[in-house]
Structure 1
Amino acid sequence: MSVKVQAVAKALPAYYRSTDEIIPFLDTWLSGQEERFIKKVKKIFENAAVDKRYSIMTPEEVFSHTSFEDKNNLYAREVIKLGKQCLLNALDKAGIGTQDLDYIITVSCTGIMIPSLDAYLINELQLRQDIVRLPVTEMGCVAGISGMIYAYQFLQANPGKRAAVLAVESPTATFQLHDFSMANIVSAAIFGDGAACAILSSHEADKGPAIMAAEMYHFYDATHLMGFQLTNAGLQMVLDVAVPEQIAAQFPDIIHPFLARHGSSMEAVKHLIFHPGGKKIIQTVEELFKNSGKNIDETKEILRMYGNMSSATVLYVLERFLDKQIPAGDQGLMLSFGPGFSAQRILLQW
């Protein structure tokens, strides 16, 4: 019995702006700052390798003073709408209905909701009353793969079942208007909002690449590298400049033993399905693979088109691979990094 990724679909918020359109808002936001600092911030936006960012709110709302309560209320209202549409898109792609789901995992770290998103979707879409639900929070960018790992483990133990992994994120709801730190500036430059949903199945008849293995890897003494600090103004980004360096240092231990344990190797892996954390992380990973003949072009394209949407982003990359005609037997490696510090991996086979 294998667990397969049956379908992946996305949903995007109503508002978006290109990088060129965002620059005038920076002039207003940075009014009163030193000219040299303003030029530096603009360069960060222009060189982030992100052409467009989507948001649950207009740029005017992003760059205006609002309370944590107001931003979080907006987040809660909009992620329900975005999550509902995304889940319906994924069910439609998989050719199944709302009553065919046995398990729902909702993933988000950019707002706080109790009850969590899944509870609202059960009511909005009349999901089964006995559906198993698991909200995953506080795991950041890595949580899209985390959710898939939890679904995989559930489905391995329960043949003939299906699970939805739904990641809905709004990093723009965490933007700090009065914070001119590099962490806040860089996160504003690389992050955007979005939702993605993967349908996993342990039904024998269902099609899709099979999950051959799934594991987590945790860095020691690295909790300071990435996350959010909960402040009176909201969720304040923590983003250490040492993240790419730490990834590079541990990359061989993250990749090669995992593949070897499951009878594979980098030579056998044809497709790299990596989370686009940002331009510097992409450059770090490309450097590590420069002599392998492999590329992460799809990862770069997702960053360019949407920015980093935290946990949802790796599912956008996965969707592009699922929409291709990939030969049977080909293997793909999913990888994402997130707070903890953590790396999580899934080995797929078509």
Structure 2
Amino acid sequence: MSIVKIATVTKELPAYERKTEDILPFVEFWLANQDERFKRKVIKIFEGAAVDKRYGIMDIEEVFTKTSFEEKNNIYIREVKKLGTNVLSKALEKAYWSADSIDYIITVSCTGIMIPSLDAYLINALAMRQDVVRLPVTEMGCAAGVSGLIYAANFLKSNPGKRAAIVAVESPTATFQLNDFSMANMVSAAIFGDGASCVLLSSEESTVGPKIIGEEMYHFKDATRMMGFDLTNDGLKMILDPAVPSTIAEHFPNIIHPFLKKHQTSIEKVNHLIFHPGGKKIVQTVEELFGKLGKNIDDTRETLRLYGNMSSATVLYVLERFMEKNIPAGEQGLILSFGPGFSAQRVLLEW
């Protein structure tokens, strides 16, 4: 079985940038006809979301204008093609790889619908090989960045001397529902932002980077309504159960300890926690759980503050921060994310 290493991680941000304080007047205008107490509560959610800034594929005026599902999805299609092309090109340049050296391309997105999927456009845009293996990952939400790592690792483990690219592009902005005044929509509007990321992996012996020593998914039983989207005539409508943080806390020991034990390690030996910033409450819950074990998730909190939750791409932004550190050989990292299913995905790294 081949050793799989992460060669590089890059990110690409959309054109529009906005601070949370600049979004609040738009939120107040949007909620003008709502009950005063409800309005105050929503403003508090935005102010307390631990997100200072986020990026978007469309201007804020456009976000708060009633547009059809078709119009928003067309903007999504146009922009994810650009972001995907840019982030993959940037990663290939950083790794000194040519586009036609990629054997396996995985594209990840759940915030819009396009058939053919993004990978088909990237193959054409970058003149990739005609026999490149495609895998679009579309309905796994926030966990899908790690799902992509798991699929790539499995492919590369059984194929020595090969290269894989994972391109995650998300626009939660394109799913924002103007007519939905549910708490799920308020919370998601307060925490989500748009962004793209790319990870290059390889089973070539010459690759420099942390190696993947284990990967696994964990499925929560009968929890399909915890998180996801309902497809309505207006677009993708957010499902977000307030019980997500407590459910994670309840399952946490089963998610972490048996997985690490299987790979002859333990949480005590894991030096770096590369955790997906799902939102302030999830971050606080996991921070408490890891804090009791003497660990911190500072990079996760900082990623949430700077970009918001960009669904599948976000954990890869956290991973990029670790890739830029000078981590001593032999140290371990645990990548962890949660998403619709309900599920937890884990990848164990060693530098």
Same fold (TM over 0.5): yes
Q: Separation in 2 of the partners of 1:241 and 1:60?
A: 29
How do 1:103-142 and structure 2 match up within 5 A? 103-142=104-143
Tell me the alpha carbon deviations over residues 221-264 of structure 1, each in whole angstroms, 9 at most, x when there is no partner.
Answer: 10010000000000000000000010000000000000000101
Tell me the alpha carbon deviations over residues 115-150 of structure 1, each in whole angstroms, 9 at most, x when there is no partner.
Answer: 000001111111111100000011000000000100
Residue number in structure 1 paired with 2:158: 157
Which amino acid is 2:281 matched to?
K
Q: Give the deviation of 1:59 after TM superposition.
A: 0.5
Q: Give the deviation of 1:158 after TM superposition.
A: 0.5
Name segments (4+ residues, structure 1) moved above 4 Å: none
Q: Is 2:174 aligned against 1:173?
A: yes
Residue number in structure 1 paired with 2:250: 249
Q: Separation in 1 of the partners of 2:281 and 2:291?
A: 15
- Structure 2: stretches of 5+ with no match in the other structure: none
Q: Give the deviation of 1:32 after TM superposition.
A: 1.1
Q: Separation in 1 of the partners of 2:253 and 2:283?
A: 16
Q: Give the deviation of 1:38 after TM superposition.
A: 1.1
Residue number in structure 2 paired with 1:223: 224
Q: Is 2:61 aligned against 1:60?
A: yes
Q: Give the deviation of 1:292 after TM superposition.
A: 2.1
Which amino acid is 1:186 matched to?
V
Tell me the alpha carbon deviations over residues 172-228 of structure 1, each in whole angstroms, 9 at most, x when there is no partner.
Answer: 000000111100010000000000000000010010000000000000010010000
Tell me the alpha carbon deviations over residues 39-90 of structure 1, each in whole angstroms, 9 at most, x when there is no partner.
Answer: 1111100000000010000000000000000010110000000000010111
Task: Kindly tell me the number of residue pairs found equivalent between the two proteins.
Answer: 350
Fraction of identical pairs, as percent: 70
Residue number in structure 1 paired with 2:83: 82
Residue number in structure 1 paired with 2:241: 240
How do 1:286-305 and structure 2 match up within 5 A? 286-305=287-306
How do 1:182-193 and structure 2 match up within 5 A? 182-193=183-194
Which amino acid is 1:42 matched to?
I
Q: Give the deviation of 1:293 after TM superposition.
A: 2.0
Residue number in structure 1 paired with 2:16: 15
Q: Separation in 1 of the partners of 2:294 and 2:16?
A: 38
Q: Give the deviation of 1:291 after TM superposition.
A: 2.5
Which amino acid is 1:127 matched to?
M
Q: Separation in 1 of the partners of 2:75 and 2:292?
A: 46
Q: Separation in 2 of the partners of 1:78 and 1:142?
A: 22
Residue number in structure 2 paired with 1:327: 328
Q: Give the deviation of 1:287 after TM superposition.
A: 1.0
Structure 1, 87-96 or 191-200: larger mean CA deviation: 87-96
Q: Give the deviation of 1:92 after TM superposition.
A: 1.4
Q: Is 2:118 aligned against 1:91?
A: no
Q: Separation in 1 of the partners of 2:290 and 2:79?
A: 39
Tell me the alpha carbon deviations over residues 319-341 of structure 1, each in whole angstroms, 9 at most, x when there is no partner.
Answer: 00000100000000000000000
Q: Separation in 2 of the partners of 1:321 and 1:248?
A: 25
Tell me the alpha carbon deviations over residues 13-55 of structure 1, each in whole angstroms, 9 at most, x when there is no partner.
Answer: 0001101100110121111112211111111000000000100
Aligned residues: CA RMSD = 0.6
What is the SS of the residue equivalent to 1:267?
helix
Residue number in structure 2 paired with 1:347: 348
Q: Separation in 1 of the partners of 2:270 and 2:186?
A: 36
What is the SS of the residue equivalent to 2:150?
helix
Q: Separation in 2 of the partners of 1:150 and 1:301?
A: 27
Residue number in structure 1 paired with 2:146: 145
Tell me the alpha carbon deviations over residues 93-122 of structure 1, each in whole angstroms, 9 at most, x when there is no partner.
Answer: 212111111110000000000000000111
Q: Is 2:211 aligned against 1:210?
A: yes
What is the SS of the residue equivalent to 1:305?
helix
Q: Separation in 1 of the partners of 2:151 and 2:95?
A: 20
What is the SS of the residue equivalent to 1:129?
coil
